[in-house]
C-alpha cells in the first residue's frame, strides 16, 4: 500500500468498516511508514478530542427555558389547527 492509498482508506479504517485484507495491508503500511502512522494517530485524537470536548453543552437553565417556550408554542399551534409553520 502506498501513502496515497492509505489516505483514501483512512476514514473507513478509523470507522472500523474496512475488510480484513485492506485492514491488514493498511496496518502493515503503518508499521513501517512513520508519517502515515502519525497522521492516523493524530486524526484519531482529533476526532476523540472533539467528541469528548463537551463543546456547546446546553446549560440546564437555558434548556428548561427553551423546552418551556417550545411546548407553549406547540400548544398555541395546536389551538390554531394544522398549518405550516
Partner 1 sequence: MGAIQNKVVGPVSEELTLVQAAKRGDDSAFEELVRRYDRNVFRIAQHITQNREDAEDVVQEAFLKAYSNLAQFQEQSKFYTWLVRIAVNEALMKLRRRKPERTVSLDEEIKTEDDSLPREIADWSPNPEQQYTQAELREILSKTIQGLPPGFRTVFVLRDVEGLSTEETAAALELSVPAVKSRLLRARLQLRERLGRYFQRRENGNGKSGEVKTGDAPSGDGNQ
The least CB distance from residue 39 to partner 1, in Å, is 5
Separation CA 18–CA 29 (nearest Å): 15
Chain residues 24-83 in contact with partner 1, contact rule CB under 8 A: 30, 35, 37-51, 53-58, 62-63, 66-67, 69-71, 73-75, 77-78, 82-83
Q: Does 14 bind partner 1 (CB under 8 A)?
A: yes
**Backbone phi, then psi, for 30, in 5-degree steps?**
-65, -25
Rounded-to-integer distance, Cα 47 and Cα 53, Å? 10
Asked if 23 and 31 touch (Cβ cutoff 8 Å), the reply is: no
Binding site for partner 1 (CB under 8 A): 7, 10-17, 30, 35, 37-51, 53-58, 62-63, 66-67, 69-71, 73-75, 77-78, 82-85
Amino acid at each position: 500500500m502506498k501513502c496515497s492509498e492509505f489516505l483514501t482508506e483512512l476514514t473507513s479504517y478509523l470507522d472500523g468498516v474496512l475488510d480484513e485484507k485492506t485492514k491488514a495491508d493498511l496496518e502493515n503500511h503503518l508499521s513501517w511508514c512513520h508519517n502515515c502512522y502519525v497522521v492516523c494517530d493524530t486524526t484519531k485524537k482529533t476526532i476523540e478530542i472533539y467528541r469528548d470536548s463537551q463543546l456547546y453543552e446546553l446549560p440546564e437553565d437555558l434548556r428548561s427555558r427553551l423546552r418551556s417556550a417550545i411546548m407553549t408554542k406547540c400548544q398555541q399551534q395546536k389551538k390554531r389547527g394544522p398549518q405550516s409553520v
